[in-house]
Amino acid sequence: MSLMAQFGPQWRRRRPKLPLLGEPAARTSVELPERLVYTVEQAAAEQGSPVRRGQLLGLESDVPVLAAADGRLTELRRIKRGRDGHPVTQLVIDTKAELTEEEQAADPLFPLEPLAVDAAPASLLERFERAGVVAVSRVPQALATRLRVNAELLVIGAVDAEPGLSAAAALAQGAPQRVVAAAKLLAHASGIHRVAIAGLAPTIDALRGAAEDADIELLEVPPLYPNGLDELVARAALDGDGFATAVPVESALAALDAVEKGEPHVLRTITARAADGNTRRELTAPAGCSFADLLGAAGFELRAHDRLLAGGEMMGAALIDTDATLDAWVRGVTVLADERAAGFACEPCIDCGDCATLCPMRLQPQWIGRLAEYGHYQRAAEEFDAERCVRCGLCAYTCPAGRPLVQWIELVCRETANTPSAEGGAA
């Protein structure tokens, strides 16, 4: 089944035309800032201690968080996050701090000794863990965990899921031979025999020569949102039957670097998009640097009413200031001019059905929204499968009543996570 064929004609007619980008922008490396900040749920370092590049600082949702540079841990702040006041720890590393002679004399943690790409799968998976390789995506995971699954298909995502972002295309088109080598490495490490690389036409063209003699499929993604989302690429490739695991191209390349060069996964490549909606930069930056550093490196200035998003304009999270830092959840940085920002009116649902027509996961966002609005989270989760939502945002984008449907779906998923019992009461 092709990517376009998996939806009905009404869906194809009514969905908004949001083009995906296959042409990368100019690339810039962000200098190491004086301060790197990481947020973890379980800290593995102590205040005042020296920190080495690649050192495990802690875990965030079971994802390893590694220091991107040497320095000293000068602050360890315990804060509460989110609606439920979930306790987390922020670790501040001063990258310019002076280390004692004894501290300087300690052996660096990286680079590790190179490993053969055809080493035993268990050794490769262990190396990915040691190097902190993360499958950077909407729901990040340690790469080794993502590969330890029983799947029919491994998809390397060399496509940027959201309009306005192009970092995956930049990485893939910049090193096609390495992308193919990384795909083969992950196939060997995971034992998944069917491997595909998904990309827009310019990326597929760039990869074709390198993939010629490799047993790897190239999946050309139609250049419209939301075709590049992992779930939709996998569904189309498997013809709706079977299970696929997806690894973004950045993570695949980081895995290859961990094996061949012994390097940790501490650099991220993301797209920064300016308020005019057209100007872009691909930024390679150390994890832990602030959005202020990213915007400065891109040469973008925030005007008084500009909004800032961690991600693209369909799935990005709104930021209230530029102190937030780059982590494995961030896929880009978008400056949004005030007039382009969507406002929520939160009027009553008029039952137009547009949200359900456009939902690529065939959910009924109008019902999830109504139930969530009145606090019936469990019923929304159980009867309307809220957890299958991929947060594409198309329902809210199209809703004429301006209902914050994605926020409600998020709320349902958060409130019902690990809650086995049914909720009392009815809508």
Assess 229 for contact with ligand SF4 (CB under 6 A). no
Assess 422 for contact with ligand SF4 (CB under 6 A). no
Cβ closest to ligand SF4, residue 11 vs residue 306: 11
**Cβ–Cβ under 8 Å, residues 309 and 336:** yes
Cβ closest to ligand SF4, residue 348 vs residue 420: 348
Site string for ligand SF4, 363-382 (x = CB under 6 A): x-xx--x-------------
Cβ closest to ligand SF4, residue 275 vs residue 371: 371
Assess 413 for contact with ligand SF4 (CB under 6 A). no
Cβ closest to ligand SF4, residue 194 vs residue 391: 391
**Cβ–Cβ under 8 Å, residues 20 and 160:** yes
Cβ closest to ligand SF4, residue 3 vs residue 392: 392
Q: Is 60 left (phi over 0), alpha (psi -120 to 50) or beta?
A: beta
Phi, psi of 302 (to 5 degrees): -85, 130
Assess 32 for contact with ligand SF4 (CB under 6 A). no
Assess 355 for contact with ligand SF4 (CB under 6 A). yes
Assess 392 for contact with ligand SF4 (CB under 6 A). yes
Q: What interhelical angle do 167-174 and 201-211 show, nearest 10?
A: 30
Assess 230 for contact with ligand SF4 (CB under 6 A). no
Per CB under 6 A, the segment of 53-61, 89-97, 294-302, 350-358 that binds ligand SF4 is 350-358
Strands (E), 313-364: 317-319, 332-336
Q: Mapping DSSP to helix (H, G, I), strand (E, B) and coil, where does residue 42 land?
A: strand
The CA–CA distances, whole Å, from 301 to 46, 287, 295 equal 36, 21, 7
Shortest Å, Cβ 220 to ligand SF4? 23
Angle at 228 between CA 226 and CA 233, to 5 degrees: 110
Q: What interhelical angle do 121-130 and 249-260 show, nearest 10?
A: 100
Please tell me the number of Cα atoms within 13 Å of 61 on its side-chain side. Answer: 11
Residue among 51, 151, 285, 359 that touches ligand SF4 (CB under 6 A): 359
Cβ closest to ligand SF4, residue 155 vs residue 401: 401
Residue among 101, 351, 417, 424 that touches ligand SF4 (CB under 6 A): 351
Instruction: Map the footprint of ligand SF4 across residues 298-337, applying CB under 6 A.
Output: none
Nearest to 271 by CA among 18, 28, 19: 28
Q: Is 203 left (phi over 0), alpha (psi -120 to 50) or beta?
A: alpha
Residue among 298, 393, 411, 413 that touches ligand SF4 (CB under 6 A): 393
Residues in contact with ligand SF4 by the rule CB under 6 A: 349-355, 358-361, 363, 365-366, 369, 389-395, 398-401, 403, 405-406, 409
